[in-house]
Structures are given as structure tokens and as C-alpha cells.
Amino acid sequence: MASPRSGGGLLAALLDQCTSLKAGPLSTGHPIDQIAGLSLAERDFVSHRLTAADAVEWSYETSGGDVIEWTPRLALRLGFLAATVPDARFIVVLRRPIPTISSLMQAWRSGRFATVSDLPDWWGDPWSFGLTPGWRDLIGVPPAEVATRQWAAYVEAMFDDLETVDPARWITTSYERIVDDPDAEVNRITRWLGVSDIAVPDPLPASIGMITAPDRGKWRADASEIFAALPGVQQTVQRWESFRDAHAPEPANWDADETPRIRPEQQRTTMASAGTPFSSQHTSTVPELLGLTGSTVVVTTYKSGHVIFLRRDEAGKLNTEFASYNRPMGVAVAGSRLSLGTGAGIINFSNTPALAAALEPANVNDAVYTTRSVINTGDVAVHEMAFAGEQLWFVNTRFSCLCTTDPNYSFVPRWRPPWISSLAAEDRCHLNGLAMRDGRPRYVTALSQTDTPNGWRELKGTAGLIMDIATNTILVDGLAMPHSPRWHNGKLWVLESGKGTLARVDVDTGEVTTVATLPGFTRGLTFLGPYAVIGLSQVRESVFKDLPVTQTADERNCGVWVVDTRAGQIAGFVRFEGMVQEIFDVQALPGSRWPTILREPTDLTASSFVLPDEALRDVRFTPPPKSDH
């Protein structure tokens, strides 16, 4: 009995080679799962866990004599086996948690140990090893957390069952003891079994499930991710340590330095944060979704001054590319155009894919964004932006109005809430969000109906609203800091940031339906088919300490979360750590798998020219002069 990757397979291989004990029927198949009423489907895919309370009459038959049984799934069924196979005895194999979890992660990545390929609602790599209780809570969480929680579920199952089984029926050992002193440990076990002392082969036989050769330090590659997940299973770790101290043989003297280390590929340094490490963790479902939709996601992080492209590389892994700007906030995308709101203006880019051939490596980027114009708006706190045809609209939060751009002016006011009595740079109601419908601005969000300088701050968590600007009617109010309204698939969506939720709004009745609650301050929303891609921020306690999300959330993350809107379930995420703590906007670049932004000035953009198609027929190409060499 052992959790997966704990050494059970190694011990079974030793006993199989060195004794008369051979593998029994449970080692070569899963006959218990064929018993009426005990299959996963019949039990609504709860788990593979079976206890003495699940005991039924069934025929455990061997070809004669004693046998050795081993598969990881059996460790979830120790109590069931003790009750239904009365003469069974159990060898419990322990291994230090962090190396075990690291090996579990490697096994999941290999794809060799998938057990439930059609698990309902499960996202990402097929479920590997035994299906543990509470697996639905792991949908969309990082691989390290899946492996950590799976290990903990196995350990809890074994220890719970052992409390009900006669101690004379079980013995413990450890992976470390088996590897360090196999002769002494294996012979100790065989004497307990009543089998003659045996000669242990050198080198040790490879277990059927081995991925890489034993190595005391290979767990370090996953250490930083595992250490982030361990606090959630701390009680199990303590229980494991207590059990080991009480029942296991003297532990081997292996190096136990389990200090987390951030892998080099997890670190990134940018112009705006030289010397500051950036790291991220993500579920495999995020690059999978980007690949399926052929898209990139643009993320703005105004406090740390970065625009981030989330892209999927050729190996199917997530790639993050950074560009630094002064307080980047709203992003608007339409066709080949991309506009970015910054601290003092709006930068307008256009896609010039022909430049990809001149970049290194050549012809990798399928979109190359170069600056075409800059509108100096001044510090008007540009929030969300969107294109209506050729015209760019943006939320002017400081002046409490919707505006369009004009090269002759800082901004052109086009609409303001009816309660705002005049234009003033006073952020009176914190107008912040803009939703388009049928190609025109239609819905906005604000944090209050106040008409005094920064009046919204006193009401920020209780007076938020969504307004239909076509009729100047308030659809719903009393919201906790609404942001990022979006019209998608015939429905109005909004983020109620103060509660950390994604919600759907009935525009006829004003009814608000919470679709998902997320672990952070929600702001920034885009859609990839039925999947909502949402920005999460950690929240500044000094500003937002009274919000529900700061009172109820067990954890507050920064990053990008994916929600399946059909079921309201988290389908994946990218968690940012280090310098990035707040997200403002999240926008999709559909049809672009590997875009980049060229910063100005560069020699490449200075010598490149983009003309309308009708003008290209009059262009005469002059080849570069021939070299004398």
C-alpha cells in the first residue's frame, strides 16, 4: 500500500524477482471496479475510494499460494480489502512528501498513467492514477496543486483505514530505506511475511512505472511550485510525519534540504523592473485554449507598467512577452488595429505582418504591431476603450464622461451620466467600464451616482451601477464595484469586482445572476467562445479594505482566470507573482497566435513604410546597392 510514486512499485518488483510471491489478479487489472455497484459510473464518478462500509461479497481468487498485489489504486481501498479478504496482510510504503509530489507531477506530464480518460467536467491532461475524493475541486488548479492534493487524499485514506485494521496485519517501510539498504529492508519484510531470506539483486530492478532513475535531488525542479501548494495540505503533512515517527523504521539519512527554488525559466526581467523577478504558474488548459481558438490574450498591468502577451508556443507551453509603458490601462482591438490607453495618452498601433521577415527569428510572428499615432489626452485616467467603426471611444474617468479621439484636441466629450452637472477633472462617480452592442457604445459601469469630487469613494462597495446609455436608464444598482461590462452571445456580462465575481445581467429585468466567484478582485474581461477570460488583482488593502472580497476570500490572487460560462466552473488560470499585483484590462487577439509589439524608435520601423493597397501599384522598388565584398 502506497500513494503513487512512493516506492510501492519498486518493492513489488523486488518481491516478485526475489521470492515465490507473484503478482495477483489485482495487480494486472481492476476486477473490483467490475463489481456491480462499485464502478465509477455507477457511483457518479465520486472517486475510486472504497472503505469497509462499502464491503460486498465478491470472489477473490488466485491460481494458488500466496501472491503480492500492487497498484496505486489499492491504497484507496485498504479498509475495503481488509474487510473482504480476511487473510490479507499489508505493507505500507512511505516516502517523503515533496519528492513524492514531484514524481507525481512528472508522471502526470508523461501521460503514461491516465486512468479516467472520459472524466466528466475534467479539464486538461487526462486524470492519472486513482480518482481521489474531492477531485472536482481541482478543476483548473495548477498541476502542482493537483499532485499535492492527490497525494494528501491517498495518505488520509490509508491512515484512516489503518486505524480500523488489526496492527498485526500490517507493517511499514520507506522508499528511502529500500533504496539505501535494500538487503536489510527487504529481508526484514520477508521475515515478517514468513518468506525465506533472499538475495537482493544489484542494481535494483526497475519498477514498471519508473520514469527516470532514482535521484535524490530531482525533486528540486518542481520545488517552488510544490511549496506554493503545500500550505493547503499542512495538516496531512503533519499527520504523515507523526505516523512515520510512530510506525516507520529508522529513516534513511537522505539530504532533506527542501528549500524552494524558482527555476530559471520561471524568471523574467523587464525594462521597467530591471532586476525584479517575475514568475507565473498556469494550468495546461490555458495554452490549450489559446491553441484551440488560435488566439493571444493581451493583459495590462498599470501599476507595474507592463503589457503582457499570453501566447502558446509550438511545444504547447504558455509564453509571456512583455512591453513596458507608462501606466497601461484600457485596450481596444479591431481588425489590424490595437489601441492602448496610458497615463498621458492613447497609443494607436497597426499590425504590419510583413515586418516579421526582418525580425529574429524570421517569420515567427504572425502579427507585428507598430505605432501609427499618439493622442496626448493628458492624465484623464483613460479606462476602457472600444472601436465603433473607425472611431475609438474611451472612458474618461477623471472627467466622468465617454469621449472619442481627435488629433486636434485632448478629447471630445460625447456622453456623460445625467447626474453629472458639468465637466470637471474630479472623478465624481468613477465611470469605468464600456460595453459595445451592435457596433455602438451601449452600456457603462460606474461606482456611484455622486456629483462631488471623488464622491464615489465613500460608497465604493455598495452603490455601483450599470447604465444603458441609449435610454439613460439604470439597469441595476447597489453593486460592489462593477467593472468590465461586455455584451457577448446575446447577454450582458459584468464583473462585480468588490465580490470577486463574474455575473450575468438580464437587461429587461435587471436581475443579476452570479456565474462564478473567483479568488481575487475581478477586473478585465474578454471571451474565447464560451470561456470568460478574467483579470484578477490582489487588491490594495489601504483602498479596498471594506469590500466583501477582502472579508471573505481565503486567498486573493493576481493573474488571469478562465471560467466556463456554461457551468460556471473555473477551467484554468495563470497566476502572476512578484512585481505584478494588479490587472486592469484583458483583451483577446483572435486569429493571432504569436504577436509582438515593436517599441519606437528602431531602425526597422524608420526604414519601413506602410501604404494603402491602392497606392502600392505606384511604388517603385529600389534594390539595395551591391556590396563590393
So what's the pLDDT on residue 311?
93
Among the residue ranges 34-43, 163-172, 180-189, the one predicted with the least confidence is: 180-189
Mean pLDDT of 479-489: 96
DSSP β-ladder status, 346-351 and 569-578: unpaired
Neighbours of 154 (CB within 10 A): 27
Q: Which residue has the higher pLDDT, 593 or 621?
A: 593
Residue 249 or 216, more confident = 249
pLDDT in tens, 508-526: 999 999 999 998 999 999 9
Contact indicator for 87, 114 with CB cutoff of 8 Å: no
Average model confidence (pLDDT) across the chain: 85
Q: What is the distance between the alpha carbons of residues 155 and 257, in angstroms, rounded to a whole number? A: 22
Q: Which amino acid is at 550?
A: T
Residue 467 has pLDDT above 70, yes or no: yes
Closest CA to 262 of 281, 285, 275, 237: 281
Domain limits, the chain: 8-247, 296-519+584-608
How far apart are alpha carbons 145 and 105 in whole angstroms?
9
Calpha distance 495→585 (Å, rounded):
12
Fold entry, domain 296-519+584-608:
Neuraminidase (2.120.10)
**b/e 167-192 (16+ beta carbons within 10 angstroms → b):** eeebbbbbbbbbbeebeebbbebbee
The gap between the terminal CA atoms of the chain, to the nearest Å, is 74
Q: For the segment 74-87, what is each residue's pLDDT rounded down to a tens digit?
A: 999 999 999 999 99
Averaged pLDDT, 420-434: 96
How big is the chain by its Cα radius of gyration, in Å?
Answer: 30
Q: Name residue, grid cell 510506525.
A: 247
* pLDDT per residue as tens digits for the range 321-365: 888 888 899 999 999 999 999 988 999 999 988 888 888 788 888
Cβ proximity of 468 and 455 under 8 Å: no
**Residues 104 and 150: beta-carbon distance below 8 Å:** yes
Q: pTM for the whole thing?
A: 0.57
Could you please state the CATH topology (level 3) that the domain comprising 8-247 is classified under.
Answer: Rossmann fold (3.40.50)
What are the backbone dihedrals phi and psi of residue 376, each rounded to the nearest 5 degrees, phi first?
-85, 95
Name the nearest CA neighbour of 2 among 218, 190, 176, 261: 176
